[in-house]
């Protein structure tokens, strides 16, 4: 019993779930960062200015010269990243990314693999998406992973498998041989690990989803209106 208590305490310190205003984030460590109470008004105090990480070689959606840069740290198994993808990101794409006002960068923050011993599905999904990116299909593949995981509705249950990734590759029209060779090589493991380490260094509490809007930080699957307000403020500077 004492062993169980000690391990439960360790897990509680490592991984937490933060609930606020109907939105949730998965977090590493005791620091959760600042959060908006209403989910509707984006104030400088609640979403402070900080230093966004460089884009580096991570995938970009939108025009390179867009005046506002959004950098999202996400985990493909995170249900709250799925919520952001399904409820907010589509509107952001329609109103800001497709109109040349915003470009979106996606960085991998692997959290949910740590929920079980030997967990690997989040990292495997990130690897598959990067391999799709080699054939110019990163965002189509990224979207399919989230859509598939949202429909599945569970974490670490084995659905994000090699066979699924090959099926998704066929769905987006990838060269199956090249994709399989890339995926099996694990060539992106170091880059995914670097993204996760970067998140832990730049975020006050490493949580998913965490999104920089230029140098303003939003943590959580908050409503579209919060993101739109901050974007408009950045556009009007």
Look at the chain and report how many structural domains it folds into: 1
In terms of residue numbers, what domain contains 100? 2-235
Check: CB of residue 71 under 8 Å from CB of residue 55: yes
Report pLDDT for 46.
77
CATH number of the domain encompassing residue 127: 3.40.30.10
Q: Phi, psi at residue 62, to the nearest 5°?
A: 115, -175
Q: What percent of the chain has pLDDT over 70?
A: 81
Check: CB of residue 214 under 8 Å from CB of residue 221: no
Q: What is the DSSP string of 21-45?
A: TTEEEEEESS------SSSS---TT
Taking 50 as the pLDDT cut, the residues of the chain under it are 1-23, 28-39
Report pLDDT for 213.
98
Beta strands across the sheet bearing 210-213: 60-61, 102-108, 68-74, 210-213, 216-219
Report pLDDT for 39.
44
Q: Residue 128's beta-bridge partner residues?
A: none
Whole-prediction pTM value? 0.85
């Amino acid at each position: 019993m004492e062993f169980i208590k000690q391990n439960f305490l360790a897990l509680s310190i490592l991984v937490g779930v933060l609930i606020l205003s109907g939105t949730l984030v998965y977090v590493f460590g005791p620091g959760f960062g600042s959060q908006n109470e209403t989910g509707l008004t984006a104030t400088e105090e609640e979403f402070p200015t900080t230093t966004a990480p460089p884009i580096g070689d991570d995938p970009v959606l939108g025009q390179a010269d867009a005046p506002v840069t959004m950098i999202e740290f996400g985990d493909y198994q995170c249900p709250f990243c799925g919520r952001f993808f399904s409820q907010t990101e589509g509107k952001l794409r329609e109103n800001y990314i497709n109109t040349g006002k915003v470009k979106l960068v996606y960085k991998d923050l692997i959290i949910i693999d740590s929920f079980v011993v030997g967990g690997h599905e989040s990292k495997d999904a990130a690897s598959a998406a990067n391999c799709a990116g080699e054939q110019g299909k990163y965002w189509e593949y990224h979207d399919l992973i989230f859509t598939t995981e949202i429909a599945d509705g569970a974490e670490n249950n084995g659905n994000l498998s090699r066979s699924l990734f090959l099926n998704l590759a066929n769905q987006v029209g990838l060269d199956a041989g090249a994709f399989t060779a890339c995926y099996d090589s694990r060539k992106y493991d170091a880059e995914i690990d670097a993204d996760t380490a970067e998140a832990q260094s730049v975020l006050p509490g490493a949580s998913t989803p965490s999104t920089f809007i230029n140098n303003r930080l939003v943590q959580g699957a908050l409503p579209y209106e919060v993101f739109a307000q901050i974007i408009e403020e950045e556009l009007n500077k």
